Amino acid sequence: ATVDLASAVPVQSVELRFSDRSDGAVVVRQASDNREIYVVAPGTNGFIRSVLRGLARYRMLESIDNEPPFRLTRWDDGRLSLEDPATGRRIDELAAFGPTNAAAFEQILEAREQSS
């Protein structure tokens, strides 16, 4: 069964900024109010780190700084996607990399819901 990405509707979407902390942690902030909603502990969650490194590489090639937020979206078909509107890059199906990897991004959405 093929997934019709064009007909999927976003159920939840949040604009996020990611920044490295000196201790090796990655801080996740909600872009609208700069509120810290999640911290990727040092040495953990290699999947989140590798996805962000990949997207950051495209920003570097296009001389875009870290100011424009990324968009994490949960779709009505259950998918999670991460998009960089600044470069047009998007990972449509984070779960394609395995359920544990998708769960890492799911934790960010859950942390945001709990902190609001």
- Does residue 35 surpass a pLDDT of 90? yes
Residues of the chain with pLDDT > 70, as a percent, come to: 95
- Over residues 91-100, mean pLDDT: 89
**What whole-number distance in Å separates Cα of residue 109 and Cα of residue 77?**
16
Residues 6 or more apart in contact with residue 54 via CB below 8 angstroms: none
Q: Which two tokens stand for residue 13?
A: 């979407």
The overall pTM is greater than 0.75: yes
